[in-house]
């Protein structure tokens, strides 16, 4: 047990819930990292983890990341995540997800779930049958639908900010952008970039996805391994994590790294330093790709697409703030982003302690405390 509490203590987690139901064979873990700013929101990943330890490590890591993403995006949310241990291709049933939904309901809104790797809108609609604390459901049910266009718009706004800061330009006319992965987000990002005058170089392992962007945006195709040394101004990772590492960073010819993928840096500290030393401006992934979270956050308050899109465009200003902080303190942009997020969590926490009487166990404000 001390392993679990040690891990929670090191990373600052509030609560970890192990969910098991015999009849449905549900094995899930819900991790609530930080609810200082608001309820913990984060997707539910379904993955065939080889061991329970790996599932726990993943949910602790991912839930912490959500606290930072929500904090930096200025949302009224905390960070959480869930994992269901199982094969997403063969083990999905209505009862499994309804059973998971009952555990989410049991947390009374401290954790709000959503789709993630291995789960879909349909799965979340089963969860919705048991709890209202779920987002990412279809537009027909009052949800926000596919988050990719808004994530792409946020990334595009972030690229514009990074171009302004690094190259002093207001538009992408004449700039070459290498997009790695032209799936859901990559496709819409290519559309935004092409409309702003960028020249696109794309790579993907899916030939149909590639054909679409070649046909629609006159993109040039480059090899999967050639993307790192491509002669481009901007490298936009929109596929996998950990593509910035000891092997790839020395190859980069670009001035900017800015894309949608999560966990782009294999080692958050060292590889951010390597990019900085090479004079490459890195847009911190969890800040530039916060559009998807902004989208589901809006679902909680009653979805308004215009409002969500306009908030995603705010990623321009957010990145400018991070870059200014990084310059002022001489730190990497990744460190600067962490500081901005941590400051907001701390400031909101202090505000709550100062101005609001603590809640008693029944949820009522107890003015005698
Ligand atoms: P997706 O699966 O639709 O697209 C990923 C694309 O990358 C696919 O076309 C796939 O074929 C391609 N790909 C896989 N391996 C590759 C490789 N080795 N080289 C080149 N291409 C490769 O996923 P998505 O929803 O577009 O998300 C892309 C990234 O952005 C992911 O890292 C995801 O976590 C992150 N992200 C997505 C959202 C969102 O709203 N969808 C929000 C935040 C972050």
Which range (74-78, 295-299, 335-339) has the least confidence? Answer: 295-299
Q: Please tell me the distance between residue 184's alpha carbon and the centre of ligand 1 in angstroms.
A: 7
Give me the half-sphere count of Cα atoms (radius 13 Å) on the Cβ side of residue 331. Answer: 16
**Ligand 1 atom closest to 263 (CA):** 32
Which residues, other chains included, contact 192 with Cβ-Cβ below 8 Å and sequence gap of 6+?
Answer: 152, 153, 156
Q: Choose one of 65, 81, 184 to mutate for the ligand 1 pocket test, by most ligand atoms within 8 angstroms of C-beta.
A: 184
Which residue is listed with tokens 């990719």? 148
Instruction: Give the pLDDT confidence of 139-195 residue by residue, as tens digits.
Output: 777 788 888 999 999 999 999 999 999 999 999 999 999 999 999 999 999 999 999
Domains of the chain, by residue range, sit at 2-65+76-139, 148-343
pLDDT at 362 over 60: no
Res 128: pLDDT: 95
Of 224, 225, 156, 149, the closest CA to residue 184 belongs to 149
Which of 204, 225, 291 is the pocket-test mutation for ligand 1 (most atoms within 8 Å of CB)? 204
Q: Has residue 136 got a pLDDT over 90?
A: no
Provide the strand spans (E) within 230-352. 234-237, 256-257, 281-282
Mean predicted confidence (pLDDT) in 248-258: 98
pLDDT of residue 43: 93
Q: What's phi and psi for 111, nearest 5 deg?
A: -130, 130
- Provide the pLDDT for residue 132: 94
Closest C-alpha residue for ligand 1 atom 27: 185
Average pLDDT over residues 5-18: 93
Q: Compute the average pLDDT of residues 319-335.
A: 98
CA 236 / ligand 1 centre spacing (Å): 11
The tokens for 323 are: 């870059």
The pLDDT tens digits for 208-252 are 999 999 999 999 999 999 999 999 999 999 998 899 999 999 999
pLDDT tens track for 121-131: 899 999 999 99
Reduce the DSSP state of residue 221 to 3 states and report it.
strand
State residue 366's pLDDT score: 37
Residue 156 Cα to ligand 1 middle (Å): 15
* Residues 6 or more apart whose Cβ sits within 8 Å of residue 330: none
> Which mutation among 181, 192, 261 tests ligand 1's pocket best, with the greatest number of atoms within 8 A of CB?
181
pLDDT at res. 361: 45
The CATH superfamily label for domain 148-343 reads: NAD(P)-binding Rossmann-like Domain (3.40.50.720)
Q: Determine the residue of 183, 284, 295 to mutate for testing ligand 1's pocket, defined as the one with the most ligand atoms within 8 A of the Cβ atom.
A: 183
Residue 147 Cα: closest atom of ligand 1: 40
Shortest-distance Cα residue to atom 8 of ligand 1: 183
Q: With bands split at pLDDT 50, 70 and 90, how would you rate the model's confidence at 353?
A: low
How close is the Cα of 237 to the center of ligand 1, in Å? Answer: 9
Buried b (16+ CB within 10 A) or exposed e, 279-294: ebbbbbbbbbbbbbbb
pLDDT per residue as tens digits for the range 84-119: 999 999 999 999 999 999 999 999 999 999 988 899
Phi, psi of 248 (to 5 degrees): -90, -35
Helix%, strand%, coil% for the chain, nearest 5: 45, 15, 40
**What residues are in contact with ligand 1 under a 6 Å CB criterion?**
147-148, 151, 180-186, 203-206, 209, 224, 238-240, 260-262, 289, 292
CA–CA distance, 284 with 158 (Å, rounded to integer)? 10
C-alpha to C-alpha distance for 314 and 308, rounded to whole angstroms = 10
pLDDT for 141: 78
Average pLDDT, the chain: 93
The DSSP secondary structure of 255-268, one letter per residue, reads: SEE--S-SS-BSST
81 catalytically annotated: yes
* DSSP three-state, residue 301: coil
Query: Hey, whose CA ends up nearest to atom 20 of ligand 1?
Result: 204
* Ligand 1 atom at minimum distance from 239 CA: 7
Neighbours of 335 (CB within 10 A): 20
Q: Closest Cα to atom 2, ligand 1: which residue? A: 183
Which atom of ligand 1 is found nearest the CA of 152?
40
Task: Please give the distance, rounded to the nearest whole angstrom, from the Cα atom of residue 367 to the centre of ligand 1.
Answer: 49
Specify the residue with its C-alpha closest to ligand 1, atom 25: 184
- State the average pLDDT over residues 290-307: 90
Nearest alpha carbon to residue 31 among 71, 3, 64, 5 = 64
Distances (CA, A) of 193 to 37, 151, 200, 234: 34, 14, 8, 11
**Which 3 state secondary structure label does DSSP give 112?**
strand
Pick the catalytic residue: 11, 27, 81, 352? 81
Q: What CATH architecture is 2-65+76-139?
A: 3-Layer(aba) Sandwich (3.40)
Nearest alpha carbon to residue 114 among 193, 174, 30:
30
């Amino acid at each position: 047990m001390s392993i679990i509490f040690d891990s929670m203590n090191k990373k600052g987690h509030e609560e970890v819930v192990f969910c098991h139901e015999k009849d449905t064979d549900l094995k899930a873990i819900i991790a609530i990292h930080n609810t200082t700013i608001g309820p913990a929101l984060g997707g539910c990943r379904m993955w065939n983890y080889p061991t329970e330890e790996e599932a726990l490590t993943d949910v602790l890591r991912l839930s912490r990341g959500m606290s930072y993403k929500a904090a930096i995006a200025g949302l009224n949310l905390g960070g959480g995540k869930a994992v269901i241990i199982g094969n997403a291709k063969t083990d999905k049933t209505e009862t499994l997800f309804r059973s998971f939904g009952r555990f989410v309901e049991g947390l009374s809104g401290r954790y709000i779930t959503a789709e993630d790797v291995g789960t879909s809108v349909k799965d979340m609609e089963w969860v919705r049958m048991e709890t209202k604390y779920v987002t990412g459901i279809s537009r027909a049910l009052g949800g926000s639908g596919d988050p990719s266009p808004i994530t792409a718009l946020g990334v595009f706004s972030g690229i514009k900010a990074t171009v302004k800061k690094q190259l002093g330009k207001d538009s992408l006319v004449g700039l070459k952008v290498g997009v790695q992965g032209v799936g859901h987000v990559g496709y819409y990002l290519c559309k935004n970039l092409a409309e702003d005058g960028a020249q696109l170089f794309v790579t993907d392992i899916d030939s149909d996805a590639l054909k679409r962007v070649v046909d629609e945006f006159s993109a040039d195709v480059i090899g999967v391994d050639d993307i790192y040394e491509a002669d481009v101004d901007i490298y936009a990772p929109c596929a996998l994590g950990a593509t910035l590492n000891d092997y790839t960073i020395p190859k980069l010819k670009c001035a900017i790294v800015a894309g949608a993928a999560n966990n782009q840096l294999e080692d958050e500290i060292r590889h951010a330093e390597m990019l900085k030393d090479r004079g490459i401006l890195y847009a911190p992934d969890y800040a530039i790709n916060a559009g998807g979270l902004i989208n589901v956050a809006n679902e909680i308050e009653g979805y308004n697409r215009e409002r969500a899109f306009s908030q995603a465009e705010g990623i321009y200003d957010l990145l400018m703030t991070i870059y200014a902080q990084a310059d002022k303190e001489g730190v990497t942009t990744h460190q600067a982003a962490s500081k901005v997020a941590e400051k907001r969590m701390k400031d909101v926490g202090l505000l709550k302690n100062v101005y609001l009487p603590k809640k008693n166990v029944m949820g009522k404000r107890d003015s005698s405390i």
